[in-house]
Structure 1
Amino acid sequence: MAVLERHLFLYRRLWRASVFSSFVLPVLFLVSIGMGVGGHVGRIGGVDYLAWIVPGVMASTAFQMAIGESTYSVLGDFKWVRGYHAMRATPVEIRDMLAGWLLYILLRVEIAAVVFLGVTGLFGALRSPWAVVTPLVAALVAVAAAAPVTAFAASIEHDSYFALLFRFVMIPSTLFAGVFFPVEQLPAAVRPLAYVSPLWHGVELSRAATLGGAPPWPAAVHVACLVVFAVVGLVWARAAFRTRLQD
């Protein structure tokens, strides 16, 4: 809780810079793509494009927020600010550093998800009462993305690697994980690349919840895949933090 308090104290001075990307931009994107482009796309899976794209935008927002927060902030606290080294000089353990950090990301993501859910509800894009569970799906996506990226950020020495992460992981995942069009439209040889992305599992769970249908795989399998990403990322992060703090 002390680590969470520290991150919230810092965010109190920076929150204005994140309002646009966390709240305004997803809504503008939804209106422009869902309603504008949706007028030309028509219906997908028996529903209008706006209702179909809402869960994808919500999941991708959580995914991108988690990755963005877990890059420069983590590396900076090791290399430039040395905040983690200061924490290590206190009774705070590595597990506390990771738990407090992930709680901070979850708080950020959940606030954005609830606001987004409320706005999309006003547009009539939610077709099932199960839509109320989508913030929980967003939380799973956030942890599944943040844990391994935090470990990656703790393992590198230069921030230039983040450009590779954004270009070859975050952007392709956003484009080809079923956010904007069904994955089934991809060539069969390319589809497995979508299946290994945590975002695809989050998109399908969110879409099943907002539309009241069934995901392509059993919901338990999608959840298990996200949990595996989170657990593997946490194990890697704990090892990376331990190694880095020995410097």
Structure 2
Amino acid sequence: MNLLALREFSYWMVHYRRNWRGTIVVNVLNPLLFLLAMGAGLGRLVDRHTGPDTLHGVTFLAFFAPGLLAAATMQNAVTVSTGSVFLAAGPGGSYRSGTAGPLGTDDVLAGHMLFMAFRIATSALCFVAALLCFPDLRTIGLLWLAPAALLTGLAFAAPLAAWSVTLENRQPMNNVFRFVIMPMYMFSGVFFPVDQIPVVLRAVVYATPLWHGTELCRGLYLGNASQAAVLGHTAYLAALTVLGLALARRTYRRRLFA
């Protein structure tokens, strides 16, 4: 990270200063209201009518909260790494303006990725802070949720930024959200244990980054994850982030020097 990359980061921070209030509703209030309705509301019915082994011996609220954080982080990462990258790389976008001056493509990428990490981390921290409103969720495991959520978000943001910079129109982004992100949201263990999914579909679920992020957040929060599981999920998400950054360096150079 150099001074030129920090200039790109400062540009996005100035831009964010003008519209940060709107992001609170989408990234924090919506998930929390969903948590209140599903976790504290529906969760009471689930706890009343299921056995202690159904959710691995914890309440539905404790099971659901870390999973919802991972899912909300995924959605936040998708938001900051698709539309903004698409617009910035287009004619008249900020990427073009930056690379016309002293900034190189690596500076533009590094600065924007730093801003994406900032957005993901701050949203995760706000979510974790709001979980303190629920007395039953106040455990030492909350300390691990924000780092795990940040890694989950970066595992989505880096590959999606590498892909979004190549797009000529928005339709592929809509298709990815509709046919990839939303099914992942529903079937990656956020709402119910994956072992309730048919066996033939579990291999697909186990390959998704959201499942790894959900399991990492939930295992660290509940304190029931083995060291091997934590290392495995962390390695998967870190490898996806590194691969995404490597691909982004190539796609950014191709698009901005085209």
TM over 0.5: yes
Match of 2:42 among 37, 41, 44: 37
Cα separation, 2, equivalents of 1:180 and 1:100: 35
CA distances 1:161-199 after superposition (whole Å, capped 9, x unpaired): 111110121101111111101111111110111111111
Match of 1:152 among 140, 163, 181: 163
Contact 1:62 1:142 in 2 (8 A): yes
Match of 2:149 among 132, 138, 149: 138
Counterpart code for 1:17 = G
Indicate the residue corresponding to 2:18 in structure 1: 13
Contact 1:137 1:206 in 2 (8 A): yes
Contact 1:177 1:197 in 2 (8 A): yes
CA distances 1:187-246 after superposition (whole Å, capped 9, x unpaired): 111011111111111111111121111159621111110011111111111111111012
Match of 1:48 among 28, 46, 59: 59
Indicate the residue corresponding to 1:4 in structure 2: 9
CA distances 1:98-124 after superposition (whole Å, capped 9, x unpaired): 221121112112222112112212202
Indicate the residue corresponding to 2:124 in structure 1: 113
Cα separation, 2, equivalents of 1:52 and 1:98: 36
CA distances 1:17-66 after superposition (whole Å, capped 9, x unpaired): 21101111111010000011112211521111011100011111111100
Provide TM-score, normalisation by structure 1. Answer: 0.95
SS in 2 for 1:155: coil
Contact 1:131 1:206 in 2 (8 A): no
Do structure 1's residue 86 and structure 2's residue 91 form an aligned pair? no
Structure 2 gap ranges (5+)? 1-5
Distance of aligned partners of 1:217 and 1:201 in 2 relative to their CA distance in 1, 3 Å threshold: farther
| Counterpart mapping for 1:1-247 below 5 A | 1-42=6-47, 44-126=55-137, 128-214=139-225, 218-247=229-258
Moved more, 81-90 or 148-157: 81-90
Counterpart code for 1:51 = A
Cα separation, 1, equivalents of 2:228 and 2:9: 35
Contact 1:110 1:138 in 2 (8 A): yes
Contact 1:127 1:210 in 2 (8 A): no
Cα separation, 2, equivalents of 1:121 and 1:16: 22
Report the RMSD for the aligned CA atoms in angstroms: 1.6
Cα separation, 2, equivalents of 1:102 and 1:66: 11
Cα separation, 1, equivalents of 2:122 and 2:16: 14
Distance of aligned partners of 1:29 and 1:81 in 2 relative to their CA distance in 1, 3 Å threshold: farther
Cα separation, 2, equivalents of 1:93 and 1:198: 30
Structure 1 gap ranges (5+)? none
Contact 2:121 2:146 in 1 (8 A): yes
Cα separation, 1, equivalents of 2:205 and 2:152: 14
Cα separation, 1, equivalents of 2:33 and 2:63: 16
Contact 2:105 2:256 in 1 (8 A): no
How many matched pairs?
Answer: 247
Counterpart code for 1:136 = P
Counterpart code for 1:107 = F
Cα separation, 1, equivalents of 2:126 and 2:93: 34
